[in-house]
Amino acid sequence: MSSFWNWYIIIIVLGLIFGSAILLYFTHNMGTGDIKEGESMGHSFDGIEELNNPLPKWWNLMFWISIIYGLGYLALYPGLGSYQGILGWSSTGQWQTEMDKAENTYGPIYEKMAATPIEELVNNDEALSMGQRLFSNNCAVCHGSNARGAQGYPNLTDNDWLYGSNPAQIKQSIMMGRSGMMPALGAALGEEGTKQVASYVRSLNGYSVDVEAASQGEQKFKMFCVACHGMEAKGNQLLGAPNLTDGIWLYGGSQKMVEQTINQGRSGKMPSHKDLLGEEKVHILATYIYNFAKTAE
C-alpha cells in the first residue's frame, strides 16, 4: 500500500472517531440559558413541541465507552492503513495457526492411514467418515453430495468408470486430474452421417432406431470411432473413452444429445487435487470413493 493511501485511511478513520468525540462533547455541554430541564424550548412544528430533554447520562457514557473501545481496538489490531497493531494479528496468520494446529492433531492420523493399502483401509469406518468429509468439501460441487453426478459429471456410485475403478486408478485420477476430449466429427460426417452414427450407437443399447440408418452408421463408426471406442464400442480406459454399449450416458442418451456429442464433440476436465490436498488426504479420499466402486461390483 502506498503512503498516500495509508495516510488517507488513517486520516478518515481517526477523523471520524475524534470528530464524533468533539460533536458529543459540545452537544452535551451546550447551554440552554434559563430554560430548565423538561421545559419548552419555544419551538413547535406540526403540533410537536421541542422540550429541553438532554440525553441520559448512561447513554452519553455509552458513546464515550464506544469511542475509547474503538481507539483501543485500532491500537491492538489492524485498521489504520498498513499499521499491523500491537498484537500483530492478521487473518492469514490466524488461518495458518489453525492449519498448523489441525496438522499437529490430524497429521499423525493421516500418516497412519496413508500407510495402509486402500483395499484394507476401505474397511475402516473412521477412514470412510474422514473421506466423506473430504469429498463433501472438495468433490460434491461437481459430483453431488451423494456422488451420483450430473450431466457432464460422472456418477461415482455405478460400475461405469472412464479411467478404471481399482484403487490405483482412482487415486491417480484424484492426484493428477483427468482431461477427456471427444473430437467434433460433424464436419467430417455431415448432418446425415451424424444422425446415422447416433442411430447406430443408440441401437447398441437396445433403443428402437431406423435400421437402415443404423446400418449405414455402423460403417461410419468403424471409420471414425473405433480408434478410441474399439470395434465393439466398449471403450478404452487408457484413453478415457466411454463404453457405448452399457446404457450409461455422461451427456444424455437421447437421439438429439448423442447427435450433439458427435457433431460438436465434448471436453471434460477433472482438476488435479495433488497440491490442494496432498497425497495422504487423497489416499483417504480415494478410499471413500473406492468404497462406491467396490459396492457397485
What are the structural domain ranges in the chain?
Answer: 1-25+47-91, 105-177+271-296, 181-270
Bridge partner residues of 182 (DSSP): 266
Average pLDDT over residues 271-284: 95
Say what the pTM is.
0.73
The continuous run of DSSP H or E covering 182 comes out as strand 178-182
What pLDDT is attached to residue 50?
A: 83
Residue 103: count other Cβ atoms within 10 Å of its Cβ.
Answer: 11
Residues 188-240: tens digit of each pLDDT:
999 999 999 999 999 999 999 999 999 999 999 999 999 999 999 999 999 99
In Å, what is the CA distance from 1 to each residue of 9, 48, 91, 196? Answer: 11, 52, 17, 63
Give pLDDT tens digits for 153-188.
Answer: 999 999 999 999 999 999 999 999 999 999 999 999
The CATH architecture to which 105-177+271-296 belongs is Orthogonal Bundle (1.10)
Residue for cell digits 480408434?
227
Residue 223, CB half-sphere, CA atoms under 13 Å: how many? 11
Kindly report the number of other CB atoms within 10 A of residue 228's CB atom. 17
Quote the pLDDT of residue 165.
94
CATH code of the region 181-270: 1.10.760.10
- pLDDT at residue 35 tops 90: no
The pLDDT score that the predictor gives to residue 188 is: 96
Nearest CA to 136 out of 127, 144, 128 is that of: 144
Residue 249 near residue 138, CB atoms below 8 Å: no
Measured distance CA(252)–CA(259) in Å, rounded: 10
- ∠ CA 34-35-39, nearest 5°, is 160
pLDDT at 275: 95
The pLDDT-based confidence of 57 (bands split at 50, 70, 90) is: confident
pLDDT at residue 1 tops 70: no
Residue 2: phi, psi to the nearest 5? -70, 160
pLDDT of residue 104: 92
Q: Considering only CA atoms, give the Rg of the chain.
A: 34
pLDDT value for 40: 84
| Nearest one of 143, 134, 139 to 113, comparing CA atoms | 134
pLDDT tens sequence across 141-156: 999 999 999 999 999 9
Condensed to tens digits (0 to 9), the pLDDT of residues 131-141 reads: 999 999 999 99
Instruction: Provide the greatest CA pair distance for the chain.
Output: 108
Angle CA 182–169–177, to nearest 5? 55
Return the bridge partners of 236, or none. 241
